[in-house]
Amino acid sequence: MGKMSVDLCGITLDNSIIPASGTFGYGLEFAELYDINILGTFSFKGTTKEPRFGNPTPRIAECASGMLNAVGLQNPGVEHVIKYELPALKKVFNKKVMANISGSSIEDYVYVSELLDKEEQVGWLEINISCPNVKAGGMGFGTSAESAAAVTKAVKAVTKKPVIMKLSPNVTDIVSIAKACEDAGADGICAINTLLGMRIDLKTGKPVIANVTGGVSGPCVFPVALRAVYQISHAVKIPVIGCGGVSTAEDVLEMMYAGAAAVQVGAANLVDPFACKKIIEELPEVMDRYKFRR
Other beta carbons within 10 Å of 201: 12
Computed over its alpha carbons, how large is the radius of gyration of the chain? 18
Instruction: Determine phi and psi for 37, rounding to 5 degrees.
Output: -70, -10
Q: Is 176 helix (H, G, I), strand (E, B) or coil?
A: helix
Q: Which of 9, 63, 131, 276 is catalytic?
A: 131
Closest among 88, 95, 87 to 40, alpha carbons compared: 95
Residue pair 188/9 in contact (Cβ under 8 Å)? The answer is yes
Which uninterrupted H or E stretch holds 241? strand 240-243
Angle, vertex CA 29, rays to CA 22 and CA 124, nearest 5: 50
Instruction: Determine phi and psi for 147, rounding to 5 degrees.
Output: -65, -40
* Nearest-angstrom CA–CA distance, 241 and 229: 8
Other beta carbons within 10 Å of 166: 28
**Annotation marks residue 131 as catalytic:** yes
* Nearest-angstrom CA–CA distance, 40 and 22: 17
Q: How many residues does the chain have?
A: 294
Closest among 14, 5, 20 to 166, alpha carbons compared: 20
| End-to-end Cα, the chain, rounded Å | 9
Enumerate the active-site residues. 131
